[in-house]
Every structure is written in C-alpha cells, then in structure tokens.
C-alpha cells in the first residue's frame, strides 16, 4: 500500500500563480515542511511549461486566473502528454467555483481555496493544510482521472425497497469517481447522501454540474432536506458536518457545527457514523478514492450495524488512501473497481438478505 511514510525524498513542487505575493506566500509556507522542496515558481503557463520540462517537479500548484493562458486551458493541454499531479489554489468565488470544477474535470487532483493574506485569518494553519495536501498529491495517479465523459443510455428501474439509503464518501479524484458512480443510478434509486471533500462555494457548482448530466436529481444539501428516492444530497463545503437524522423511510439530513474530523469538515466519518445509527442494515455505503483515512471508521460502523459496505480498489483510485484505510480496518465487505461500485450499491439495496450480520449497539457505538 502506498503511504506518505514510504516517501523518503522531499516532494518537488512547482508553484504557478500570476501574483508575486501569492507565489512568495506559498513558497515560504511550503518550504517550512521538510518533506517539500519548492523547485521553482512561475507566473504563467508558458514559463511553467519550460520549468516542468527542465525541473521535473512531482506536484504543481496552479492558479486559474492567469494572463495569456488560464489554468484550465493549460491543464487540458498538459495532462494528455504529462499527467502531473496538480493542486488548484483558487479564489472561491461563484465564477471561481465553476471554473475550478472545470479544472478538476481536466485532471487536477485537489482544490484549495486561495489563502487570505490578512494577519488574523490563521494563515499558519491554512498553510499546514496546504502542505499536507501537496504531500498527498504526490501519491496521486492523475492518469486515472477519467474525465467527465459518461456512458450513454437510460438506467432501468432498480426496483429497490423504499426504506433503503445509499451513503458515499470521496475526496481526491472524487469529482470523476462520483460522476461515474451516480450515472449508474436510475430515477427511482434509493435516496443518496454524499460527502465529497471540497471547499465552501464549490459543492453547489459540483452538484449543479452533476444534476445537468444524470437521471437522478443532485443538489447541495440544505439543513432539514428529506432523503428521498431519486435524489442525491451533497454535503456543502464549509463550517458544518452533514448527518442523517430520523428513521427510514423518513430520513432527513441536518447540518451541524463541529470540529474538523480527519482534517475535514464536512467529514465522511461524521456522516457514516450517523448513517450507522439511524439506518443500520437499511444502508449501503461506499468509500471512494481519496487521501487520508476519513470514512474508514464510519464505514466500519455501518458494517457493524448490518449495512452493506464497499471500498474502491487501488487500481482505479487516484489516491488509494481512504479506501485502503477501510480495507485495513476490515470495514469493507468487498473491494470493487470504480465502475462496479454503483451496480453493487443498487444490488445491495435491492437484496437486503445479502447484508452483513453484525448488530450495532447504539448506546456504546460498538459492535455486539
């Protein structure tokens, strides 16, 4: 299994941003990490192309709004010939959200809101997160990014029992992975709840993009939204976690305050633990590509509660971190390639007899 601890040499990073001040802040911040070596900075795509050829960086940080050639166009030209792991660092405006989503579709492996230069914004903590995600990006395989092209055709009805729910967690590489999983869902699919690690302002653009392409309805969740057939709710990025509440088939989602879990807010673990408590054996859950271990413990809780649990396999993951952590915990009942995840979730929802046999102790939160 690939882990950050197996990397001995510092990750070689190229910073690309048209702002001299941002280049300086990122360079200084990344250089504080002994496992990162900033090998160069570039102010635009043409200079970046030359430095990629000469310096052979392992990761690139990339701005979107740049003169002459924007970051999305640059990525679309670069990735087919040199699939370099790229972390987008962009301002989280509404237009920036839509454009940055295009960059993820073009092959970027992660997106981070551009840090504020104000003294009181916790720049040190922000840069620590940037360092962590740049290190993780070095393990990504951007050649696995399948783009947004989806198979055509209408999905047949799933004929599932009404009181079923599907839960999905994803991070790095999840934009493409979720698109491919959700395209398999018919209009009468069980209600779906999703955490995809994204900054505030980006999840709505992502949900709108999916909604325009898929048979099911996809939207950014709001507090109190009902979980219903044919609808996928994506947890909004920002300062709150999304949890499941109520009993089936009358579940709702709540957006709740809380500290980050596994460096994430919203966190997959927080959602999955609530799914274990309120849905149990009525749930099917999948943990997809992503760095770190968020979701692994929650997936185990769902398995202990009698739900069906899946993890994406290493061969089709951009970063086999979160699914690998689930496998290590024995949280996944099966490990599947990406294109088998959707059909497997539907099959489990339609056939509850094939589920796990654990019982969940709701008071202690453990298997019994």
| DSSP bridge partners of 319 | none
The beta-carbon contacts of 356-363 under 8 Å, at least 24 apart in sequence, are 356/281, 356/303, 356/304, 356/306, 356/307, 356/308, 356/309, 357/306, 358/303, 358/304, 358/305, 358/306, 359/304, 359/305, 359/306, 360/276, 360/277, 360/280, 360/301, 360/304, 360/305, 360/306, 362/277
Pairing relationship of beta strands 240-245 and 231-234 according to DSSP bridges: unpaired
What letter does residue 5 receive in the DSSP assignment? G
Q: What angle do CA 349, 352, 355 make, to 5 degrees?
A: 105
- Torsion over CA: 335, 341, 345, 346 (sign): negative
Q: Is 360 helix (H, G, I), strand (E, B) or coil?
A: strand
Q: Is residue 197 annotated as part of the catalytic site, yes or no?
A: yes
Structure token pair of residue 269: 């673990």
Q: Is residue 171 annotated as part of the catalytic site, yes or no?
A: yes
Pairing relationship of beta strands 283-287 and 252-257 according to DSSP bridges: unpaired
What letter does residue 122 receive in the DSSP assignment? -
CB 281 within 8 A of CB 250: no
User: Would you say how long the chain is, in residues?
Assistant: 368
Neighbour tally for 365: CB within 10 Å: 13
Catalytic residue among 171, 274, 284, 344: 171
How many angstroms separate the CA atoms of 266 and 220, rounded?
A: 13
Q: Is residue 183 annotated as part of the catalytic site, yes or no?
A: no
| DSSP bridge partners of 309 | 285
How many angstroms separate the CA atoms of 305 and 293, rounded?
A: 20
Catalytic residue among 90, 294, 317, 344: 294
Catalytic residue among 160, 183, 197, 241: 197
Neighbour tally for 355: CB within 10 Å: 21
Query: Which positions are annotated as active-site residues?
Result: 171, 197, 294
């Amino acid at each position: 299994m690939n882990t950050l601890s197996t990397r001995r040499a510092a990750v070689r990073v190229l910073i690309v941003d048209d702002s001299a001040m941002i280049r300086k802040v990122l360079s200084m911040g990344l250089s504080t990490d002994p496992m990162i070596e900033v090998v160069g900075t570039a102010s635009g795509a043409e200079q970046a192309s030359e430095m990629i050829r000469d310096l052979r960086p392992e990761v690139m940080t990339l701005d979107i709004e740049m003169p002459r050639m924007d970051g999305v166009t640059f990525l679309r030209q670069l990735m087919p010939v040199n699939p370099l792991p790229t972390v987008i660092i962009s301002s989280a405006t509404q237009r920036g959200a839509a454009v940055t989503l295009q960059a993820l579709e073009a092959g970027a492996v992660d997106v981070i809101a551009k840090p504020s230069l104000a003294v009181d914004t916790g720049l040190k903590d922000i840069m620590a997160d940037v360092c962590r995600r740049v290190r993780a990006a070095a393990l990504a395989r951007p050649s696995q990014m399948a783009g947004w092209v989806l198979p055509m055709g209408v999905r047949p009805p799933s004929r599932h029992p009404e009181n079923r729910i599907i839960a999905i967690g994803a991070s790095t590489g999840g934009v493409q992975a979720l698109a491919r999983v959700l395209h398999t869902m018919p209009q009468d699919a069980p209600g779906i709840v999703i955490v995809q690690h994204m900054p505030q302002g980006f999840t709505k653009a992502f949900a709108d993009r999916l909604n325009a392409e898929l048979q099911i309805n996809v939207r950014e969740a709001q507090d109190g939204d009902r979980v219903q057939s044919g609808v996928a709710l994506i947890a909004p990025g920002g300062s709150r976690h999304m949890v499941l509440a109520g009993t089936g088939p009358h579940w709702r989602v709540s957006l709740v305050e809380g500290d980050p879990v596994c460096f994430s807010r919203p966190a997959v673990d927080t959602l999955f633990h609530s799914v274990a408590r309120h849905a149990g054996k009525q749930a099917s859950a999948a943990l997809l590509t992503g760095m770190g271990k968020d979701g692994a413990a929650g997936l185990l809780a769902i398995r202990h509660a009698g739900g069906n649990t899946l993890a994406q396999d290493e061969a089709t993951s951009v970063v086999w971190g979160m699914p690998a952590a689930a496998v290590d915990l024995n949280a996944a009942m099966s490990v599947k390639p990406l294109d088998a995840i959707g059909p497997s979730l539907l099959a489990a929802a339609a056939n509850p007899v094939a589920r796990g046999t654990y019982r969940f102790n709701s008071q202690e939160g453990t298997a019994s």
